Amino acid sequence: MGSILVINAGSSSLRFAAFGDAVELPEILRGKVERTGPSGADDALQDIQRQLAVTPLSAIAHRIVHGMQHSEPVGITPALVEELHRNVPNDPEHMPRQLEFIEACTRLYPGVPQVACFDTAFHAHMPRVAAQLPLPRRYEAQGLRRYGFHGLSYEYLLEELARVAGPDAAKGRVILAHLGNGASLAAVKDGVGIDTTMGFTPAGGLVMGTRTGDLDPGVAAWLLVSGLNAEQFTHLVNHESGLLGISETSADVRDLLKLESTDARAAEALRLFCYQVRKYLGAFAAVLSGLDTLVFAGGIGENSPVIRHRICNAMQFLGIELDDKQNATSQPLISSAKSRVAVRVIPTNEERMLARHAYRFLRK
């Protein structure tokens, strides 16, 4: 038996891991490359190959951010690679680099099965009313709709919720909050995602580290008329905006928490972030007709008791009440005994979810 290599490629960075090809999927390697550079895929994979030494590979699993119509993992074939190349305009931030790693793996590991796992697949069964964009129907025919992202994280969180709290909890009315540099929420009922904050691209929804989140179309038109071209606009809303744009100092919540007492810009950025999370919590509770479980995950959701407190403190009307001591130490269950909603902290693990998909794919 070999191992399953997991490739989680971002626009300029890479997270990777390897797991033993067994039911328990023991983790045998994990790492991150901050900057992969122009020829970084081949260099990074050769370094991973050295770290894996003589361990043979059973499969390679790739995270693909934008899966369009795909609703489950699929084997990577030349036809799929061609399709993904056609989809680059829909995800210019991630798809080119993810294709580089697929093609580099094909060269370095010829004959090893590769599996594409799509971040959008979790949301593929959203009701039409949640997926439809209010544009002329001819654009929907070209693929314009709300897709949602962070799906691999949400799949993992839902499976972990079933493990730690039981299947009934995972099939209840659940809001999953993946809060990190990229941030989104998902509303889940009967184990199925029924709404999410991100839309056609990962730039929509909540304000994020460097992304705007939802933006009035009139603002986009004004910026384009004022002189920005499409490429500059895309860079602005993905890399210069969000918490970084508002604070003018940092996209990192940890930095902003240190600065907020002396810098009004940092305080405003944090206030807007927490406000928007609360707003979507209320909206999704309405979509779900109530709320049974709230799960925090991601770098902020897992590690910032202050942000969790600020989000939940004004939500008692929904039945959310935190236990301050449990929250302060990021315990798995941070809601108080009298809270009608169970509030949990579950560390997400996209790499393990990718490995699970590859393991299941191999055994079909």
Q: What amino acid positions are annotated as catalytic residues?
A: 119
The answer for residues whose C-beta is within 8 angstroms of residue 101's C-beta and 6 or more apart is 7, 9, 14, 41, 44, 45, 62
Q: Which residue has the tokens 């990021």?
A: 330
How far apart are the C-alpha atoms of 156 and 354, rounded to whole Å? 9
Distance of CA 161 to the CA centre of its chain: 17
Q: In the beta sheet, which residues pair with residue 295? A: 176, 344
Q: Which helix (H) or strand (E) holds 293?
A: strand 293-297
> What six digits make up the tokens of 104?
């580099």
User: Could you give the 3-state DSSP secondary structure of residue 174?
Assistant: strand
Query: Is the separation of the CB atoms in 354 and 63 below 8 Å?
Result: yes
Intra-chain end-to-end CA distance of the chain, in Å: 17
> What six digits make up the tokens of 280?
């979507």
User: Could you give the 3-state DSSP secondary structure of residue 329?
Assistant: coil
Burial profile 164-198: b = 16 or more Cβ within 10 angstroms, e = fewer: ebeeebbbbbbbbbbbbbbbbbbbbbeeebbbbbb
Helix axes 40-52, 95-108, angle to 10 degrees: 50
DSSP state of 317: G
How far apart are the C-alpha atoms of 48 and 45, rounded to whole Å? 5
Residue 55 CB neighbours (<10 A): 17
